Chain A
Amino acid sequence: MIVLCVTGSIAATESIKLARELRRNGVEVKCFMSDSACEIIHPNAMEFATGQDVVTKLTGKIEHVKYSQEDLILVAPATANTISKFAHKIADNPISTLLITAQGHDTPIIFVPSMHDSMYRAIKENIDKIKDEGSASFIKPRMDEGKAKFPSKEDIVLESLRTINLNK
């Protein structure tokens, strides 16, 4: 199973089709959404795309623990905020909490950064820190119109399935 974490970038609109594409490749998908992602797309859309309930807050079911040892945690789109919090191991929302729980279990994590390129430059140090410690990998954005745009869904699917196989 892939845990797809959707955070607050306009590219959250792409996550609906990404979830469908992953499932077309035979992968079960569970979705976590941040509050700001919920202001861009409604959780119902991700519930439809994944066929499962969407986690938007942590409850007595300890969702951050329950889903921390799946095949892959895929953060797509990943905002500057989410990446930077992970770089410093801050856990103040369901997704950032899931991420550090997963890291503790050596569960593979992939970030798909999506933000304005000035923000991307500003958090470079945090991205390098994560790369250096090897705690997660990144699918590099498509640079276009001065923005770090969401890569093609096909690239994300290929990298996700490869990462799962390499960690088997």
Chain B
Amino acid sequence: MINMIKGKKILISLGGTYEPIDSVRGITNKSSGKMGLALAKEAYIRGADLTLVVANVSVEIPSVFDVIRVETSSEMNEAILRLVPDFDIFISAAAVSDFEFRKKSDKKIDSSSSLFLNLKPTTKIIRQIKDINPEIFLVGFKAEFNISKDEIIECARKQIADAGTDLVIANDISKENCQFGSDDNEVLIVDDEVLTVPLASKREIAKSNAIFPCH
């Protein structure tokens, strides 16, 4: 498998985006970037030509990596759409906000009265990838909460149908040791088939040959 990704151009997005409410507050999620970083290290070791788009992470990114820092989902969107035409593989491991604010305050909002936030859905980055580069090998993630294995597989297959994803790494983040930010995970790797990877460190999951495409 090592030779499969040697010299291939791989783009990986990781971490959680942050949508500002005002100049000091915002909404984000608990994504740590650990899974994306584990995949990045494995790809780098195997000789891939690697670029990372990094949102908020709780891990240190090795200085040898080529990194583009972003904060919001729209910045993430812009960076990825710009880069996607030049890459062979895109692994979308970032947790991108599904909502952004209709109007962001550039001041600090006064806290003495109640506050209603008006959110609108963000653009789904993953659905645009294959339109821009139909040749790219697209790996998506699907985090669901407390649903059955069959339902998770159905969600993953829906992403494959909607976004043209070639491979989906799906998991149930309600399970113990599988939450956002955990060191370990238990995942299903879904394409035409379903491969169950039992609870293992994110690093071991990244080393699993099922993740890196064999074309």
Contacts and interface: CB of A to CB of B under 8 A. Distances in A.
A139 B2 contact: no
Contacts of B63: 142, 151-152, 155
Given A152-B63, A158-B62, A165 B47 contact: yes
Most buried by A among B6, B45, B63: B45
Q: Main secondary structure on chain B at its contact with chain A?
A: loop
Nearest to B46: A165
Contacts of B3: 168
Contact of B6 (A159, A161, A165): A165
B9 interface: no
A154 interface: yes
Given A161-B45, A162-B45, A165-B45, A155 B6 contact: no
Nearest to B5: A165
Contact of A139 (B6, B46, B64): B64
Contacts of B87: none
Interface in B62-111: 62-64
B180 interface: no
A155 B64 CA distance: 6
Interface residues on B, range: 10 to 19
A122 interface: no
Contact of B41 (A139, A151, A158, A166): A158
Nearest to B41: A158
A122 B44 CA distance: 32
Q: Which one of B3, B44, B46, B47 has the greatest number of beta carbons of chain A within 10 Å?
A: B47
B62 A152 contact: yes
Interface in B1-26: 2-3, 6
Interface of A: 139, 142, 151-152, 154-155, 158-159, 161-162, 165-166, 168
12 contacts: A152-B62, A155-B62, A155-B63, A155-B64, A161-B45, A162-B44, A162-B45, A165-B2, A165-B45, A166-B6, A166-B47, A168-B2
